[in-house]
């Protein structure tokens, strides 16, 4: 087994290789505006670090979000393209689940990432492997009471300390954790993966104006 994992649903452009037992190589850069520029060089870098070529990969793992429209699509399209070219499967995982898994917390907690517009993408967990319900997007003040007394992992917690006073690491997503979670699921029978489709939770920022006029000839 050689899994190539990637996630661009958050400001972290993160890539990792996992051989089924451990992480072979990984790369993470935090830059919310350069997902498209950074992802392919990161893939090339981890392959070179591991002394491998892309055709050695037996499966793709990709974070499906939730996340902002443009950045999220970069990772999903890249993973789908590699999977098609190599003839290997692509496994989708919730980005928040990767952060939860990386935390190692074994008591109830939450994960919150920056959703912009003064909102966070968030979900509750019973432990680092068990999400409670679906991911959602809300204003921190609107969910502060629901999450009162719980540790909150992720950049969203650090951005809004008044709503989430018990902020915990990690702050950013790690493809290494996502790959390890995927390897664990595959070893257990391969259940619990999501389709590699974007989890947006809300409409994209860019929309066609309501009073748009057609100027081309009929």
pLDDT digits (tens, 9 = 90+) for 130-156: 999 999 999 999 999 999 999 999 999
pLDDT band for 206, please (50, 70, 90 cuts).
very low
Within the chain, strands assigned E span: 3-7, 12-18, 23-30, 59-63, 90-93, 109-114, 120-127, 130-138, 152-153, 167-168
Instruction: Give residue 76's pLDDT.
Output: 97
pLDDT at 37 over 70: yes
| % of the chain beyond a pLDDT of 90 | 89
User: How far is the first Cα of the chain from the last one, in angstroms, to the nearest whole number?
Assistant: 56
Give the DSSP letter string of 22-65: SEEEEEEEE-TT-HHHHHHHHHHHHHHHHT--GGG--EEEEE--
136 backbone dihedrals φ, ψ, rounded to 5°: -145, 170
Mean pLDDT over the full length of the chain: 93
| % of the chain beyond a pLDDT of 70 | 93
Average pLDDT estimate for 101-116: 97
Q: Which two tokens stand for residue 211?
A: 């009073």
> How many beta carbons lie within 10 A of that of residue 102, not counting itself?
22
Rounded (5°) CA angle 82-85-88: 75
Determine the length of the chain. 218
pLDDT at 215 over 90: no
Rounded (5°) CA angle 99-129-25: 50
pLDDT at 210 over 90: no
């Amino acid at each position: 087994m050689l899994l190539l994992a990637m996630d661009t649903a958050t400001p972290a452009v993160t890539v990792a290789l996992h051989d089924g037992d451990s992480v072979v190589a990984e790369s993470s850069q935090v830059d919310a505006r350069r997902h498209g520029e950074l992802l392919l060089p990161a893939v090339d870098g981890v392959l070179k670090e591991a002394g491998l070529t892309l055709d050695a990969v037996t499966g793709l793992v990709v974070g499906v979000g939730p996340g902002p429209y443009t950045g999220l699509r970069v990772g999903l399209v890249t993973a789908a393209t590699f999977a098609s070219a190599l003839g290997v499967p692509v496994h989708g995982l919730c980005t928040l689940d990767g952060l939860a898994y990386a935390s190692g917390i074994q008591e109830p907690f939450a994960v919150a990432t920056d959703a912009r517009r003064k909102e966070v993408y968030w979900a509750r967990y019973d432990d680092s492997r068990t999400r409670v319900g679906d991911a959602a997007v809300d204003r921190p003040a609107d969910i502060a009471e629901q999450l009162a007394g719980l540790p909150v992992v992720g950049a969203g917690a650090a951005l809004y300390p008044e709503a989430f006073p018990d902020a915990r690491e990690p702050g950013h997503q790690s493809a290494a954790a996502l790959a390890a979670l995927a390897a664990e699921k595959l070893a257990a029978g391969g259940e619990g993966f999501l389709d590699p489709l974007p989890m947006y939770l809300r409409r994209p920022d860019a929309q066609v104006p309501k009073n748009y006029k057609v100027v081309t000839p009929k």
